[in-house]
Amino acid sequence: MAWRVVARQELRDLWLAGRGLPLMLAFTVLLSATTYLTATNQSLNFLEQHEAVSLTLQVAVAVGALLALLVAADAFSGERERGTLESLLLSPARRSELALGKLLAALSTWLAAFALACPYLWVLGHGVGATADAVVVGAVVGTVIAVALTGLGTVVSALARSNRLSLSVCLLVLLALFAPTQFPTGAKEGWFGELLQRVNPITAGNHYIGNVLVDGHGWSRDAAWLLSPLAAAVLFAFLAVAAAPRFLTLRGSGPG
């Protein structure tokens, strides 16, 4: 199928001749620093060790999804600037298949990042029996968030007129999504604060991770917090594959 050919070519370009390996190297350095700072803190007790695992996992999810978003933001706008978009659009593959192949290739960045994060989670969590929960909850929540952000990046890349505009828009949206995580604790309390956390897929996913790893809640107890990440993943994946490619032109359809 055409999307398989596109995905295979994109994977080859990303990991053999592209930015995949340098991005993973930078990700490993960041995660190593985070793990070192938490593991060498001599004041950690049983509860705080769970918090350290949760913090490291949230950093891995956030940065891994960010890398996938950056790769997706280059999907079509990068082809446009390199002058290869015309030959791509003239290929026998349908535009939806082109988008699907590029989306899957960008998503591989998150999968590689999560695979690199698993040993760090084991180092921090094996002493308190938190490794298994951290790996499973990270795989579920991280993949859902990564699919949402990868779909968003593909949509923006298809509509933006330039690669710079695509990256700028994606980073601004990501900044807006992460901004509520910096709110003081008092601003997050009450029904309005909780509503803001629930509708934001990033804060909702982080809250669910904390509830499972730190508070010891069961998997189904706070499952409602995963509704917005799931909805965002389905919506942006659909837009990326079925809607945005229809507006794909050589000059782009978006402002800029």
Residue 199 pLDDT greater than 50, yes or no: yes
Token digits for 230? 């799931």
Rounded Cα–Cα distance for residues 215 and 225 (Å): 15
Rounded Cα–Cα distance for residues 110 and 118 (Å): 12
Residues 46 and 127: beta-carbon distance below 8 Å: no
For the segment 72-98, what is each residue's pLDDT rounded down to a tens digit?
999 998 888 888 888 888 888 888 999
SS3 for 25?
A: helix
Q: What is the pLDDT, as a whole number, of residue 17?
A: 80
Q: Name the residue ranges covered by the structural domains of the chain.
A: 2-247
Measured CA to CA in angstroms, residue 241 lies from 85, 102, 104, 170, 245 at distances of 17, 10, 11, 17, 7
Measured CA to CA in angstroms, residue 19 lies from 13, 24, 67, 70, 160 at distances of 9, 9, 10, 10, 21
Q: Please, what is the average pLDDT of the chain? A: 87
Residue found under tokens 């009450």? 190
For the segment 138-161, what is each residue's pLDDT rounded down to a tens digit?
999 999 999 999 999 999 999 888
What is the reported pTM? Answer: 0.89
> What integer is the mean pLDDT of 94-107?
93
For the segment 120-139, what is each residue's pLDDT rounded down to a tens digit?
999 888 888 889 999 999 99
Q: Residue 12 carries which side chain, given as an amino acid letter?
A: R
Residue 189 pLDDT greater than 80, yes or no: no
Q: What is the pLDDT, as a whole number, of residue 251?
A: 61
Rounded Cα–Cα distance for residues 81 and 73 (Å): 13
Q: What is the pLDDT, as a whole number, of residue 254?
A: 45
Residues 64 and 146: beta-carbon distance below 8 Å: yes
Confidence of residue 31 (pLDDT cuts 50, 70, 90): very high
Residue 39 pLDDT greater than 80, yes or no: no
Q: What is the pLDDT, as a whole number, of residue 209?
A: 93
Token digits for 131? 């490794």
Confidence of residue 255 (pLDDT cuts 50, 70, 90): very low
Q: What is the pLDDT, as a whole number, of residue 224?
A: 92
Residues 2 and 100: beta-carbon distance below 8 Å: no
Confidence of residue 196 (pLDDT cuts 50, 70, 90): confident
Q: 48 vs 147, which has greater pLDDT?
A: 147
Residue found under tokens 């398989």? 4
> What integer is the mean pLDDT of 149-175?
91
> What integer is the mean pLDDT of 59-84?
91
